[in-house]
Amino acid sequence: MATIDPTARIEAGAEVGKDVSIGPYCVIGPQAVIGDGCKLISHVHVSGHTTIGPRTVLYPFCSLGTPPQSIKYRGGPTRLVVGADCEIREGATINTGTEDGRGMTEIGDRCFLMVGSHVAHDCKVGSDVIFANNVVLGGHVTTGDFVVFGGQAAVRQFVRVGEGAMIVGLSGVRADVIPFGLVQGPLARLIGLNVVGMRRRGFPKPRSRGCARPTRRCSSARALFVSGSMRWLQATAMMRLSAR
């Protein structure tokens, strides 16, 4: 049974699952779907065609499902889908997609968005991704699973960030990042391999060292970032084969 504070406003048409807790002054729009076991602490705003996965926790003043910040958006019924077991902290914002993009912004399972982080329209974020405070993703960004963004990192639109990459805080990412890459700088550069992240996921040392070889190859070829579909696929294949 859902627990709803009397000050919360849930518009007709909204779907609220079992065992949901909705705290003071939350506002839920008519096309929103709140999954089973979700917890909205207080002052949460969920609008648009937004689906929140089971057991996700939303903290005060986060805003999900507002229209995309795009001058090309024409008011269509685009969507936002947030996965299960996510934690979205104070002041975080996530927009729906655009008609000219994917039509949907998507957040995977078990993601952690810290204070003030922003995911723009048409992004596709993998599972187990961590956003430190004030991280910004531009429109159409795609990330793999287990990516970590340090505080106040910013990613330019259409960039792809590979699985297991680490973006150091205050970095500005302007091009695709290889899987397991470690990047840093205001105009971010590939500086190595996210060995710490690999160890935390249980990769044994030989596998981590094996992944370093294609990373050095990319650096020596002055391919600080991998651009173009073919190079992206080649880098992904090299890293995954080396990690076996």
pLDDT of residue 14: 98
**DSSP-derived pairing of the beta strands 189-193 and 181-184:** antiparallel
Task: Please state, in angstroms and rounded to a whole number, the distance separating the CA atoms of residues 213 and 168.
Answer: 21
pLDDT of residue 227: 45
Amino acid at 186: P
User: What domains sit in the chain, N to C, each tagged with a CATH number?
Assistant: 3-140 (2.160.10.10)
Q: Is residue 222 over pLDDT 50?
A: no
pLDDT of residue 205: 74
Quick: pLDDT tens for 150-193.
999 999 999 999 999 999 999 999 999 999 999 999 999 999 99
Quick: pLDDT tens for 22-41.
999 999 999 999 999 999 99
Asked whether the whole model's pTM tops 0.85, one would answer: yes
Which of 122, 128, 145, 176 is the catalytic position?
A: 122
Which of 108, 138, 139, 162 is the catalytic position?
A: 139
Closest by Cα among 64, 36, 34, 28 to 51: 34
For residue 176, how far is the Cα from the chain centroid?
15
Task: Please state, in angstroms and rounded to a whole number, the distance separating the CA atoms of residues 156 and 105.
Answer: 16
| HSE-CB of 165 using CA atoms within 13 angstroms | 31
Quick: pLDDT tens for 81-117.
999 999 999 999 999 999 999 999 999 999 999 999 9
Task: Please state, in angstroms and rounded to a whole number, the distance separating the CA atoms of residues 154 and 131.
Answer: 11
Query: Is 121 annotated as catalytic?
Result: yes
Tell me the helices (H) and strands (E) count for the chain, helix number first.
Answer: 3, 28
Query: Is 122 annotated as catalytic?
Result: yes
Quick: pLDDT tens for 3-29.
999 999 999 999 999 999 999 999 999
